Amino acid sequence: MASALFDRDLVAIGDLSKKDIGEVLEHASKMLSIVEQGRRVDYLENEIMATLFFEPSTRTRLSFESAMQRLGGGVIGFADAGTTSTKKGESLADTIEVVSSYADVIVIRHSTEGAAREAAEHSKIPVINAGDGVGQHPTQALLDLFTIKKEKGRLDKLRIAMVGDMKNGRTVHSLSEALSLFGNEITFIAPEELQIPDSIYGRLSREYGSAQKSESLEKARDADVIYMTRIQQERFAKPEDYKRFEHSFRIDRKFLEGANNDVIIMHPLPRVMEISPEVDKMKNSVYFKQASYGVPVRMAILDMMLTGKK
């Protein structure tokens, strides 16, 4: 039987069941072994990945490209939409129609929520959402889950504090949904204006009974996992609106001295000021390790999607 991802799009974390997620994480463990040995394999030697990044990215784009090259495949694409025919007025639909005849899988990041779903509707090949505006970021959620499982030894019955910009944080939108599937207790900590959207909060509360809100970082002191996010300047129409929130929350050594001793600090990065650099060398910080897991997890996704392996 082929994998859950075989020949499918991955647009939202809701596209995957709890069982599907388990398959991806298990396969990612096999890919991690390849990465740790510094190896390359030929699993996808005849496949080409197109990376269409209409919005800036460092970790997501480079880890996808590293993943494909470690699997023996080729990479085409762009990291600046200003150098493409989009600049001339070409529609997303037309771009996708054309690019899907050049490659075997498309990885797309776009500033507009819903763009990845639109791309999937016009593509002849599988589409992976690498972030669509304030919508979803499913592969980030999967590498976050992989990190939590590696660090905490399980994915269930954990106290999770998500801190920062919950309104615009697509990583939070995807990860909170995935964590709820596993029966975790989630607290969204944000200024009222930047709290988790009611549509997401209502569903999590209704279906899983696992969500609560707060405006105080003190609520994170008893957490098993603190998932920090930056206040996203690019999502604000006016600079002065961003300035009101940019210093809302900060994790430092002093805060951690009064927190759960075994708490892990995660962050999808980039970090601005919400985690003090002094935390980097503390045993609680796992955000750079978390970023490194992007390669094996995305290797697993690509391999399962293009070959059907589990």
Query: Which residues are marked as active site?
Result: 59-60, 88, 109, 137
Confirm if 194 and 168 have CB atoms less than 8 A apart.
yes
Q: Which residue in the block uniquely carries the two structure tokens 């499982």?
A: 149
CA atoms of 180 and 184, how far apart (whole Å)? 6
Residue 300, helix vs strand vs coil: helix
Confirm if 157 and 136 have CB atoms less than 8 A apart.
no
Structure tokens at 61: 């784009």
For residue 277, count CB atoms less than 10 angstroms from its CB and return exposed for 0-12, middle for 13-18, buried for 19 or more. exposed
CA atoms of 125 and 122, how far apart (whole Å)? 9
Residue 75 amino acid letter: V
Structure tokens at 229: 């996010």
DSSP for residue 196: P
Q: Which residues pair with 105 in a beta bridge?
A: 49
Structure tokens at 170: 């697509």
CA atoms of 232 and 142, how far apart (whole Å)? 22
CA atoms of 225 and 161, how far apart (whole Å)? 6
Confirm if 212 and 199 have CB atoms less than 8 A apart.
no
Confirm if 24 and 16 have CB atoms less than 8 A apart.
yes
CA atoms of 309 and 219, how far apart (whole Å)? 42
